[in-house]
Amino acid sequence: MKSTLQLSPEPVDDVINQAALHAEVISDLFRDFSIALPKDTLVHRDEPLARRTTLRVGGPADLWVEPSSENALTSVLELCALRRVPWFVLGRGSNLLIRDGGFRGVVISLAHGHFSRIERVEDRLEVGAGARLKTLAVEARRMGLTGLEFLEGIPGSVGGALRMNAGAMGAWMFDRVERMRCMSPEGVIRDLPVAEIEVSYRSCPLLRTHLALGATLRTHSGAVEDIRRQMDTYSRKRWDSQPNQPSAGCTFKNPSPELPAGRLIDELGLKGTRVGDAMVSDVHANFFVNLGEARASDVLALIELVRTRARQARGVELETEVEILGED
């Protein structure tokens, strides 16, 4: 689904020449987008990504694109392939760490209203990949549909939740999926029943290479006030157990159901550990927070510090749940 442009570390002249060549390719691609894409598709150069992520760190993207339709999205992918420029899709920016050098390529956002629809069809919801999870949960409540309350506090979009099989409060995204609509890197659209989609803990392998466009979600009728109470209960539990500083959510996957990563890090005495302005939260040890001026390099150093301690003290190899992209 994504790639990174590798620059040779030596000699220096080669690095400069490759950087100049890449800048020229990006300028050509920006011109291509301006000519080929609809006028209501947004295209920005050198877009700061720190403000686009919940952790609030990271450098800029060469190009930022918000396609206004599936056809426009197909054109973006075709032009990126033609120019051999890497791309990735950014949702609400949770569960993501962008390195300080930013992303050398195109960042695609499905924030346009075309990809954010939420429509009821009997006791099912047709939802676009760009819809916010909180908005989805609130709309389901308004319609008297239950089963999506657990999404209320997850700071992401439907597309991101599908890609990560996001979960909370003992429920998972694909517990509710009936069908998923996705697009291949070549622009081919597939509409798949959930039985044909492989999913696992925090992963939908198909979406490592394909883009989620939307899904049909199963719900059932319920009393609005009962749904509201359940959402309020989840919200209180979340605020009581999670930090309110900027973070990317859980940093590591749980090593096993019996050993949550947060409990392991807590037992190692690492709560409050800092590298620069990046800190292991003193509320939930699997959340690494930005105290205000953290850099991506601080967070990465803190991740390695915790991984090393877990390996040395407990023989546990922690695997990051947060996705790490870009250049140093």
Clarify whether residues 104 and 132 are in a common domain.
no
pLDDT at 7: 45
Convert the pLDDT of each residue in 221-242 to its tens digit.
999 999 999 999 988 887 777 8
Q: Is residue 131 scored above 90 in pLDDT?
A: yes
Task: Evaluate if residue 1 carries a pLDDT over 70.
Answer: no
Q: What is the pLDDT of residue 10?
A: 55
140 in a structural domain: yes
Residue 175 per-residue DSSP state: G
Of 113, 144, 179, the last residue of a domain is 113
Domain count, the chain: 3
Q: Of the residues 90, 113, 136, which one is the last residue of a structural domain?
A: 113
152 lies in the same domain as 163: yes
Asked if residue 120 and residue 109 are part of one domain, the reply reads no
Domain contains 249: yes
What is the pTM (predicted TM-score) of this model?
0.86
- 233 is a domain residue: no
pLDDT in tens, 18-70: 788 889 999 999 999 999 999 999 999 999 999 999 999 999 999 999 999 99
**One domain for residues 215 and 313:** no
| Structural domain includes residue 210 | yes
230 part of a folded domain? no
What's the domain range around 87?
Answer: 12-113
Residue 140 pLDDT > 90, yes or no?
A: yes
Contacts 24+ apart (CB under 8 A), 43-48: 47/107
Say whether pLDDT at 2 is over 50.
no
CA nearest neighbour of 61 among 15, 24, 101, 112: 101
Has residue 255 been placed in a domain? yes
List the CATH number of the domain containing 307. Answer: 3.90.78.10
Question: Which segments of the chain are extended strands (E)?
Answer: 42-48, 60-66, 87-89, 96-98, 103-108, 118-121, 124-128, 145-146, 167-168, 171-172, 177-183, 189-193, 211-218, 220-221, 247-250, 274-275, 278-280, 287-290, 323-325
Instruction: Select from 68, 85, 113 the last residue of a domain.
Output: 113
Residues 155-180 have a mean pLDDT of 91
Residue 327 domain-assigned? no
Residues 23 and 96 both lie in one domain: yes
Q: For residues 127 and 106, state if they share a domain.
A: no
Residues 49, 87 within the same domain: yes
Same domain, 109 and 121: no
